[in-house]
Chain A
Amino acid sequence: MKRSRAFKQRATLIVLLLGATLVALNALAFRVDAGIDLTPNYRHSVSDDVTALFKRFNTPMRVEYYVSASLPPAFAGLEREVVRRLSAIADGAGADAFAFEPSRDVVRLDDSAKTIETLKSLKIPPVALPSGAETVYFYSALKITHAAAREPVVIPRILSAASMQYDLISKALRLSMLKVQPATPDDTFRGLRSGVRFVYVYGDMNGDEMPSAKIHVRDGVWAELERIQQLNPAYISVSKELAGKSRFTPRLKRVQDITSGESGSAPESIIYFSSVVAIGQFGEESSFDQIKNTEGLATLLAGGAWALGAAREKVGFFTPSQRPELSEPEQKVLYSPRYGNSMPEDRATSISLALDYITTGVMIDFDHTIPQGLGVLVLVRPGALNPRQLYEIRAFLARGGHVLLIGGEWHTPLIDRYFGINPASTSLADVWLPNQSGPSFTLRAQRMKETMSGLLKDYGVETEAGILLSQRQSVPYRVYGPGQTTPGQLYPDPIRQNGVLGIVPYATPTGHLLTSDVNKLPLRGASPLKLDETRLKTLGLSAQVLFKAPGDAELLRPLHDTGRITLNYRATTMSPLDVLAPKRDNDTGVELVSAPDAIVGVLIEGQFPFDPNEPPPTLPDGRIPYSPGMGSAFTPKPGKLVVISSPDLFEVTDVRGWRQGEPPLVGGSDQLEESSRRRLLANVLDAFIFGEELVRVRGSTTPVPHRLDEWTLDEIRLWCGLVLGLAPAAVLVAGGIVFLRRRKRHVQATI
């Protein structure tokens, strides 16, 4: 008994000691937070480039970090992971540029003031939707802003704690934040852009049947909406002003007044924005009754327009004053609103540019020349230029001018007959077909008379069907839905894999958009641009191709990960991915020229050919040109030519001819378009013309490698057989042998 008691005491002591030691060890390990990133390219670590980037900032950054009160189980470690990531960045950047206090739920950091302001901890419970069947979750948002950014930029990838978490996070943060009832828009919905859209509008203009009015949009949710807006600026915008409002009533009332021209009763509407669920679930049986009335739609549209208009005020766009490194001539962007043919879009583009740059109208129709000392000439959809104008452009380029040619009409929407939705003008990432087995349909793109294609060809840029299209000559182009072009060869879109996003059916004049040579990736916004390498080489010009940015980055990431292209961050803006790729990269074997469908833009640099003694052509009206040519006054200098062949290149109607006689589909929402255009323009100008520094992102940004083509049935059978059958068979055979031997031994022993 005594021994037993002594043992019990000793055992208790040992257990306590061991327990305490282990707890201490674990606490220490937890505190040290040391780890080895085993992934190729150090996926879970902050890249040197990013850290260096933060170090270069001479103004402080602000970090806001939100986590909802009740995270779903899969996100249990999210908060800590976010903190770890931020701490890693902070360590890399140094306290001068970035500071982070990890012990707070929500922090705001402001180095300039040398203070760390701790905000009230944000706890956002799930919000029940009116039906009670769905739950709105707000998971988390990490917003990093910097003065150099055009707008607050979220770096969601920082959140990727682990590969498996990444998928969950991206799905949750980017796509599934709001779980809403499946909804199908009816015809009245076609005015909205696709992608991020108003998913759930519970609107009753009289406010009598508004259970959802009780739902408050909380700050954190709002932050998340902002983040989505940043990812999809073309579709959605939100205003922080709304963050404190529990209802939209006052604003919507105002919007309604503007829209309808009469002041009625204040509508009470709850608007949920989502990039998401609607995308995955459109096409299924559902209803969108709430917005079937035109009033509701008008409110919806106007609400979006208003929200974006308000958001513009808070967005810190680049202005020349924030660009001290640029000399005065470089800041000056010339814009030609009457270049060849007059279009209302030109005016809009001009206004848009004027917001960011010093712009000047150039009327070379009348002046017959491009003034000296100007930085960039922007040509927006320059119809049929006469020989004299082309001559001026050639001379301008040859004397070091920068030309930005936007080859499409900015306002032109694409419509598909399933949803009547318009794509973005800066990114096509969010246009999709919900029914993958549905029939393909026909869009009509029409060519427009133009003369730039000839000049571009001379510079080594081939445009196949021409750089411009118009409504005049209707040419049908077959557009394919996902899986309809070359079944089994489409590249897996990681987002689509999650069942949320589909693939975009965009037309190209060659009609094979979805059969891009690059891994069969259904790149969107494809254009007929091709580079004539021989010609470029002959002229001594270099070329760089441009993909759509930023939304297509998601689709392009698999290519990036497989080393086919290179994604770059904009160093000074940290805007979402600009997707740039060298024309040919010997290191990575990139040969993007072989994938013309993927190219939506090209930058040609170098000394453009021009004979200074070439006499200028006669003016169209037969008058003798006032200038006999450049002669000895001409000083050759390397120039830049950027050609953007956007999806807006196409003037499109659907099979029902919706386009004809209709007002602009995003009627009343000019800001939506403008924001979109402005962003693309500014990005292109800054990156290509002004040569903003690019930061190369580490090779592998996706968490998972993918197989590029579909598994064949034979392969599936083979590998299933091997995985499920090989080892068990081997084990059973081994077991059988052992038993047989034992039995034999047993028999021998018996004998």
Chain B
Amino acid sequence: MISVLRRELLAFFTSAAGYVLMAVFPVAMGLLALFVFPAVLERGASWFHTKELTMRSFFLAFPWVAAAVMPAIAMRSWAEEYRGNTFQLLLTLPAPSWRLVAGKYLASVAVLCLMLLTTGVFPVMIAANGGWEGGPIFGGYLGCLLLGSGYLAIGMFASSLTSNQLGAYMAALLACGTLTALGSFAGLAGSSGALSSMVRFMAAGDHFNLLAAGYLKLETVTFFISMAAFFLMLTALGVEGRRYR
């Protein structure tokens, strides 16, 4: 598993795309958090004009960015192996499929952690201006990690289904985007009833928002871990299934 993890990390950091992705991520997050989301929420104001010393807009933006970026990180994990015919080589490794999957997944999560690290200037800016609130910021980043990990699992699953990276990306983007936007459309399912409850439960964005507000709920953590576990299991099964083809 460790060797797979190392191999994946090496592959990511020896490709220009990895660095570009890591450079684009903080820029996108910064632009969204400082300008776009405050403008939407505060009617034209930038983050600086709101004078709020919080990461509210940052965390509001994250699920959307994650829905786009996490699939990009994960899309090559299996599709690339299929395409480059290295998959068979992988299968010859003396490790069960789930270890391969875990290795690749942990590598993706490590990349996610590094990406989150690149946004560290934001909380520093807040702290420097006297607005530090450890709880919500910690909760928010924990939420980023959990949500991102969940989306990575989805992306990895999508990647395990096809050798077409773009196809995997689009499928994962659709799935993650839906989960993010689900909360916004929960009203369509009514305010009560099983469907409504289900829709609201599946709304990853809403779960994330709670964490970002500084309220760490067992239910939220369980949701994200479940999501990741479920899709990782599907991925492992999918990979394992290829052994029998």
Contact = CB atoms under 8 A, between A and B. Distances in A.
A18 B136 contact: no
A314 interface: no
Contact of B26 (A34, A38, A71, A724): A724
Nearest to B207: A77
Contact of B244 (A7, A71, A707): A7
A722 B200 CA distance: 37
A742 B191 contact: no
A15 B133 CA distance: 41
Interface stretch (B44-52, B76-84, B87-95, B164-172): B44-52
Interface stretch (B62-70, B102-110, B115-123): B115-123
B53 A707 contact: yes
Interface string B162-180: 0000000000000000000
Interface string A292-315: 000000000000000000000000
B206 interface: yes
B54 A705 contact: yes
Contact of B210 (A68, A77, A79): A77
Contacts of A15: 233-234, 237
Contacts of B124: 722
B93 to A, nearest CB: 19
A281 to B, nearest CB: 11
Highest count of chain A CB atoms <10 Å: which of B187, B200, B229:
B187
B5 interface: no
B118 A731 contact: yes
A499 interface: yes
Interface stretch (A23-31, A215-223, A384-392, A690-698): A23-31
B34 A38 contact: no
B233 A711 contact: no
A18 B229 contact: yes
A455 interface: no
B51 A497 contact: yes
B184 A73 contact: yes
Given A25-B226, A76-B200, A726 B121 contact: yes
Q: Which range holds the interface residue count of chain B?
A: 35 or more
A583 interface: no
B54 A35 contact: no
B215 A705 contact: no
Nearest to A23: B226
Given A18-B230, A33-B219, A705-B130, A727 B53 contact: no
A3 B241 CA distance: 10
A4 interface: yes
Contacts of A326: none
Contact of B51 (A710, A726, A731): A710
B52 to A, nearest CB: 5
B34 A4 contact: no
Interface in B138-174: 138-139
Interface in B194-245: 200-201, 203, 206, 209-210, 212-219, 221-223, 226, 229-230, 233-234, 237, 240-241, 244-245
A498 B222 contact: no
A36 B218 CA distance: 8
A706 B209 contact: no
A534 to B, nearest CB: 33
A727 B118 contact: yes
A3 B242 CA distance: 12
B3 interface: no
Given A22-B226, A71-B191, A711-B51, A499 B136 contact: no
13 contacts: A7-B241, A7-B244, A11-B240, A15-B237, A32-B218, A162-B215, A163-B214, A498-B42, A705-B131, A711-B48, A719-B121, A719-B125, A727-B121
